Amino acid sequence: MSSNRIGRINEEIQRELSDQLRRLKDPRVSATGMVSITRVDTTGDLRYARIYISTLDKTRETEVLKGLKSAAGFLRRELGRALQLRYTPELQFIADDSIAHGAHILEVLRKVEREDESRGREETEEGSC
C-alpha cells in the first residue's frame, strides 16, 4: 500500500479522533483539560493504529490512557462511520512524551550555551590583563 495513502489515512484518523475526544463523556478524559493527539501510525494492512497522545496535566496521563482504552471500541465505531474505510483499525493509545523530551533537550542546549558564554567572558577578561 502506498505510504502516501497511509499518511493521508493517518491524518484523517487524527483529525476525526481529535474531534471525537472533545465530545467524549468519560470524566477521566473530559475532566483532564487538554488532551492532544500528537501522531497516528497505522499499519500497512490497516489492522492497527497507534494513537500517540499528550496531556497538559502529566499527573493524570495514566487516567486518561485508561479512559481512552475503555472508550476504544466506541471511538473505533465512530471512526468507521466517519471515514467509511473497508476495515477500521483497532486503536492502541500510547502516551507520547516527545514534547517533554524536546523541552528537556532545549533546556540542556540553553545550559551549554550559557556555559560557553561564561567561558568566553572569562577568556576575554584574562586576555585583557
Domain-by-domain residue ranges, the chain?
3-96, 98-129
Could you read off the pLDDT of 8-52 as tens digits, one per residue?
999 999 999 999 988 888 888 887 778 889 999 999 898 999 999
**37 or 120, higher pLDDT:** 37
Strand partners, 95: 53
Three-state SS for 23?
helix
Whether pLDDT at 128 is above 70: no
The band of 77, judged by pLDDT with boundaries at 50, 70 and 90, is: very high
CA distance 90 to 93: 10
Window from 12-21, 38-47, 68-77, 91-100 with minimum mean pLDDT = 91-100
- Rounded CA-CA distance 27/30 in Å is 5
Q: Would you state the pLDDT for residue 11? A: 95
Looking at residue 127, what is its pLDDT?
A: 65
Mean pLDDT of 90-97: 92
Please tell me the CATH superfamily of domain 3-96, with its number: K homology (KH) domain (3.30.300.20)
Q: How far apart are CA 52 and CA 126, in angstroms?
A: 52
